Amino acid sequence: MYCTVISAAIDGISSRRVCVEADVADGLPTFSMVGFLASETREAGDRVRSALRNSGVHFSPEHVTINLSPASLHKEGALFDLAIAVSLMGAYGFFPQTALQGILFLGELSLNGEINPVRGVLEIVSHARSYGCDTVIIPDKNLMEGCVVRDVEVLGAENLNQVIHFLMERSGGEILLQEDSWYDPPLLVPAPMRRAQVDPERLRREQEKRLGVDFDQVRGQELLRRASEIAVSGFHNLLMIGPPGAGKTMTAMRIPTILPETTVEEALQITKIHSIAGTLPEDTGLLMTRPFRAPHHTITAAALCGGGNPPRPGEVSLAHRGILYLDELSEYDKSLLDMLRQPLEDGDIRISRVRGTFTFPAKFMLVASMNPCSCGYFPDRSVCTCTNAQVRRYLSRISMPFLDRIDMCVEAHKVRYEELSGEQVYESSGTIRRRVTEAAAIQEERYRGTAFRFNGDLNPEGLRRYCPLNKEGKNMMREVYEVMGLTARSYNRIIKVARTIADLAGSDQILPQHLAEAVSYRALDRKYWDSVRTGD
């Protein structure tokens, strides 16, 4: 007898339909699996047979062939186990084919019949309709993730017996078992499979409470606070440079508390990526807060940008629509930083392998911090012990093409004792975030119906359309362009930052004072790099 059921695979960052076929025929009692399978997928045969036996399902010895099609798609992982078990029972006559139509099966089986969670559930469930399925059966631990999709019925199963009882009720008694095959269910009747619902706003409140930090804990550093507010309002890349202990890392760790709220569409994108990468927290159906990723400087290229076999998302993709924080920027390998140039410009990253080219989203906000030299105190020569050559070597680890992609560079000064021990009350994250939210709402309305979301997303055509300068502004920028020796890219980034400053000020036009502040955030990087280049 023959039976087929529907499952799905993850190919890069996308879902692909997989048809699981089972054929039971006379012959030597063997169990073979075909269909371009990875080793962990091929091992499903042993897991499925043990899970079925321990769930009370007994088969007559026959020649069994399992095929996962299309054969051109490489199948990896254990998410096909449940589909293989159901197709095998269907081929032995436990269920008619009609009872299995319109159902997509996902899940890894333990030897005792329990169903374990798998990766990529949200991406797969969101495409179930296009695969011809209106019902999806997934592991119970993935239920909160799967039920985010509302146009299909999503059921969570803890064990194989729950699935068997559900399908037997659905089949209405149409069972034509092979000889010497039977089902001897456990003494306790399994509970029905669960359904659930997700409340996005409740999840947002719960996830924001876990941050546990606030900007009012940052003493002094008004410039860092102002730059952080501008950066998150327009999603601009930010570099903080200054001596050790000034509060650069402390400020960066509090930036997530002032980020604008995600839309539901952004939350779905973020959750899908983390689900596929296997980094989605347990029992978290939807990530309603923007990600904050802070990899160590010893990270590898594949872990940062994505890769492996098959390729999986790296840190730049896990930070999509959130923050990628690089602490001690100059300690990262120079070639590693230069790999970020393309995703910083394009908002995605393309990884080419023999099997094909995979494109992963990587529209993140880069926040970085660094010391200006090895000892950390340049250009204060009363404290700095580095020679100009040593400072030059230290700063040269960051290439100018990479630095050119930084929208804002701000200097952190040593905190004065009065600021550290005084009674001054600083603005909280909630107060700053209200201004950020207002600026983000202005941008959302301005770019409605376009591919842009924040000012930092604008391309040259978007700049021409949405960021016009008046005559005074053009004259000012002409002088700045020539005196500072700007590139076309750095010029465009100054305009983007000025547009955000204008939004925070509630101005429809970009005024000279907005341009002046934006230019000041580009002058600081040249203070350090140009000084050591000229030997000052």
Return d(Cα 243, Cα 212) in angstroms, integer: 26
Tell the burial category of 255 from Cβ atoms under 10 Å away from its Cβ (0-12, 13-18, 19+): buried
Domain boundaries, the chain: 2-183, 202-450
Q: Is the predicted pLDDT of residue 185 greater than 80, yes or no?
A: no
Q: Please check the confidence at residue 493 and state whether its pLDDT lies above 80.
A: yes
78 and 108 Cβ atoms separated by less than 8 Å: yes
Tell me the average pLDDT across 376-381.
86
DSSP string, 436-456: HHHHHHHHHHHTTTSS-SSGG
224-239 pLDDT, tens digit each:
999 999 999 999 999 9
Average pLDDT, integer, range 391-405: 90
pLDDT at 531: 60
Tell me which range, 209-213, 371-375, 493-497, is most confidently predicted by mean pLDDT: 493-497
Angle between helices 488-504 and 429-446 (to 10 degrees): 110
> Does the pLDDT at position 474 exceed 90?
yes
Contacts of 299-308 with C-beta under 8 Å, sequence gap 24+, read 299/332, 299/336, 301/335, 301/336, 301/339, 304/336, 304/339, 304/340, 305/339, 305/340, 305/343, 305/349, 305/351, 306/349, 306/351, 306/358, 306/360, 307/351
Report helix, strand or coil for 326.
strand
Residues 82-115 pLDDT 10s: 999 999 999 999 999 999 999 999 999 999 999 9
Return phi, psi of residue 20, to 5°.
Answer: -100, 115
| Residue 432 near residue 229, CB atoms below 8 Å | yes
Which residues are 34's β-sheet partners?
A: 67
- Rounded Cα gap, residues 18 and 84, in angstroms: 11
pLDDT (average), residues 474-502: 94
Q: How confident is the model at residue 189 (pLDDT cuts 50, 70, 90)?
A: low
Distance separating alpha carbons of residues 515 and 495, to the nearest angstrom: 7
Q: Per this entry, what is the length of the chain? A: 536
Task: Report which of 293, 265, 281 is spatially closest to residue 145, judged by C-alpha positions.
Answer: 281
Q: In this predicted model, which residue has the larger pLDDT, 214 or 420? A: 214
Question: Which whole number is the average pLDDT over 155-175?
Answer: 88
Q: How far apart are CA 315 and CA 299, in angstroms?
A: 10
For 32-88, write each residue's pLDDT tens digit. 999 999 999 999 999 999 999 999 999 888 899 999 999 999 999 999 999 999 999
pLDDT category at 349 given cuts 50, 70, 90 is very high
Are 47 and 111 in contact, with CB atoms under 8 Å apart?
A: yes
- Which class is 202-450 in CATH? alpha beta
Categorize the per-residue pLDDT at 198 as very low, low, confident or very high, splitting at 50, 70 and 90. confident
195-to-37, 143, 198 alpha-carbon distances in Å: 32, 7, 11
pLDDT of residue 532: 57
CB 117, CB 137: distance < 8 Å: no
pLDDT at 354 over 90: no
Note the pTM of the prediction, 2 decimals: 0.91
Whether the per-residue pLDDT at 362 is higher than 90: the answer is yes
Judged by average pLDDT, the poorest of 128-132, 252-256, 263-267, 415-419 is: 415-419
pLDDT, the chain, mean:
91
Instruction: Return the structure tokens found at 57.
Output: 């399902």
Q: Is the per-residue pLDDT at 379 higher than 90?
A: no
> Residue 529: what pLDDT?
72
> In 10 A of CB 130, how many CB atoms?
9
pLDDT at 175: 63
**Eight-state DSSP code of residue 327:** S
User: Does residue 378 surpass a pLDDT of 90?
Assistant: no
Instruction: Decide if pLDDT at 347 tops 90.
Output: yes
Which three-class secondary structure state does DSSP give residue 260? Answer: coil
Quote the tokens at residue 153.
């019925």
What pLDDT was estimated at residue 63? 93
| Contact present, 44 and 31 (Cβ < 8 Å) | no
Residue 340 CA to residue 239 CA, distance in Å, equals: 14
CA angle 533, 534, 536 (to 5 degrees): 110
Secondary structure letter of residue 284 according to DSSP: -
Q: Which CATH architecture has domain 2-183?
A: 2-Layer Sandwich (3.30)
In contact, 362 and 297? CB cutoff 8 Å: no
Q: Percentage of the chain with pLDDT > 90?
A: 72
pLDDT tens column, 236-260:
999 999 999 899 999 999 999 999 9
Specify the amino acid at residue 464: R
**379 upstream amide cis, omega within 30 of 0:** yes
Please, are residues 233 and 439 in contact by the beta-carbon 8 Å criterion? yes
Burial classification of residue 86, based on how many CB atoms lie within 10 Å of its CB (0-12 exposed, 13-18 middle, 19 or more buried): buried
Please name which of 275, 310, 307 lies closest in space to residue 37, comparing C-alpha atoms. Answer: 310
Residue 174 scores a pLDDT above 70? no
| DSSP assignments along 499-518, one per residue | HHHHHHTT-SSB-HHHHHHH
The yes-or-no verdict on residue 187 having pLDDT over 70 is: no
The pLDDT of 441-447, averaged and rounded, is 96
pLDDT tens digits, residue range 303-318?
999 988 778 899 999 9
Task: Please tell me the distance from the alpha carbon of residue 264 to that of residue 287, in angstroms, as a whole number.
Answer: 9
